[in-house]
Amino acid sequence: MTDQTVTSDSGSAKSAEQSSEFAASRLAGGDGRDAILEVENLRMYFPVKSSGVIRRTVGHVQAVDGVSFQVPAGGALGLVGESGCGKSTTGRLITRLYQPTGGKIMFEGKDIAGLSPKKLMPLRRDIQMIFQDPYTSLNPRHTVGAIVGAPLLIHNVVPKKKVLPRVQELLEVVGLNPEHYNRYPNEFSGGQRQRIGIARALTLQPKLLVADEPVSALDVSIQAQVVNLLQDLQREFDISFLFIAHDLAVVRHFCPEVAVMYLGKIVEIADRETLYNHPQHPYTQALLSAVPDVKQAAIGGRRERIRLEGDVPSPINPPSGCRFRTRCPLAQEICAKQEPPLLQIGERHKVACHFAGEIGQHPTKPVTARLLGIDDQGNPDPGATPDPNAVEQPGFADTWYDVQGGHLGAKA
């Protein structure tokens, strides 16, 4: 569904530039294969209990509230956002450590959102996870051999005698000394521990790996080594990745496609080139302004640092309308009244903002109003009919809305 030829707006130089980037992105990862994972309107509400003997549910943490995305087979999707925005929760939903409150998780075409633990068992081999903290993700009382070999024993895939050779093979694959299978995790450094965690995740030869901030606990000097290892593994074993990170710098080298999350929702998702060079959501723009940009530094220019004011609001009681409005420099009346839909605005670009546009070029009128059947202040407009297509979908459609000129309309 990704390699449908689409005529882009040949009138503008910018689009021409974009289309060459699209081609690059397809080579980099999209490569036209079907999605291995398709997440649709995924939600996770954690109940908040009152204290006391009778613990009533007094509210919900809306950790993940309706996210949709695709992970292409053999590709990698980056998931980026500030602390607490629901990235880990999303990862844990996909690996089914949590039971989702709602939504679909289509893995190889099969919805796994509601499967019982028993039915999940065979799936556990296909979807594995690399954890954030290498100091708590390995049982300190188990040897490396026991940790890496555990999946084999639990799933009974090889006879007991064959476990050790396989463990040693895996240790070698991740760049550890295979003779060290008898050691305990505390004898290894952070980077080496993360390698052990990666070996464990690889043991069952998964098809999809959820990497939850796999390098953020590591020294900067080791981060690159581990990312490179993951990249090699992806190529060698044809593994798809959902790569979670809290800043855009790390995913840049790994993921041809990146989704930006804010307070339980995806606010912008695009191929790497578009997202880094032409972000349209004010939140993405703010995140990017914090990333040192080598190219711009080389030509003497500097991204202006956009400082976000205030704190992330509580996911128990998120702001009405656009969740980012409490900190958004562009927020207007409509933002409080209407939630902006995640609109596809380019071949591989979606954004959820009433005033989507590149830095300094944000439109003055909400681009979404007509679509939603509302006026520019966000009040229902009896004259307009909402567009039924303006709902969030996991993948990218062949048609999208052109917001560049400030007008809306489907383009073929």
Partner 1 sequence: MTVPVTELESHVTAPPGEEPDDSGVQKVAGRSPTQLALARFRKDKLSMAAFCVVALYVATALVAPILVKTGVLDPLTLHQDLLDVNMGGIPKGSFGGISADHWLGVEPGTGRDVLSRLVYGITWSLFIALSATFVAMGIGTVLGIISGFSGGFTDSVIGRAIDLTLSFPSTMMLLALSGVAVAFMTGTLQVPAGDVANALYVILVLGFFGWPGIARIVRGQVLSIREREFVDAARLLGASRGRLYFKEILPNLWAPLLVYFTLMMPAFISAEAALSYLQVGVKPPTPTLGNILTDSINYSVADFVFFFTPAFLIMIIVVSFNLLGDGLRDALDPKTHR
Ligand X SMILES: Nc1ncnc2c1ncn2[C@@H]1O[C@H](COP(=O)(O)OP(=O)(O)OP(=O)(O)O)[C@@H](O)[C@H]1O
Which residues here bind ligand X, judged by CB under 6 A?
46, 61, 63, 81, 83-89, 246, 315
CB of 263 to ligand X, least distance (A): 9
Among the residue ranges 6-14, 169-177, 330-338, 389-397, the one whose residues contact partner 1 (CB under 8 A): 169-177
Among the residue ranges 184-192, 242-250, 267-275, 276-284, the one whose residues contact partner 1 (CB under 8 A): 184-192
CB of 135 to Mg ion, least distance (A): 15
Out of 353, 367, 374, 390, the only residue in the binding site for ligand SF4 (CB under 6 A) is 353
- CB contact at 8 A, 192 and 224: no
Q: What is the largest CA-CA distance in the chain?
A: 74
- CB contact at 8 A, 124 and 155: yes
Using rule CB under 6 A, residue 163 touches ligand SF4: no
CB of 220 to ligand X, least distance (A): 18
Using rule CB under 6 A, residue 324 touches ligand SF4: yes
Q: 123-152 mask for partner 1 (x: CB under 8 A)? A: -x---xx-xxx--xxxxxxx-------xx-
Out of 2, 15, 62, 95, the only residue in the binding site for partner 1 (CB under 8 A) is 95
Beta carbon nearer to ligand X, 262 or 401: 262
Phi/psi of residue 4, nearest 5 degrees: -65, 135
The size of the interface with ligand SF4 (CB under 6 A), counted in residues, is: 12
Q: Give the integer Cα–Cα distance in Å for 236 and 238.
A: 6
**Nearest to 64, CA basis, from 82, 41, 80:** 41
Using rule CB under 6 A, residue 147 touches ligand SF4: no
Beta carbon nearer to Mg ion, 88 or 326: 88
The number of helix segments (H) and strand segments (E) in the chain equals: 13, 14
Strand ranges (E), 263-397: 265-271, 343-346, 349-351
Q: Using the 8-state DSSP alphabet, how is residue 347 labeled? A: T
- CB contact at 8 A, 233 and 173: yes
- Selection from Mg ion, ligand SF4, partner 1, none that 363 binds (CB < 5 to 8 A by kind) is none
Phi/psi of residue 299, nearest 5 degrees: -90, 10
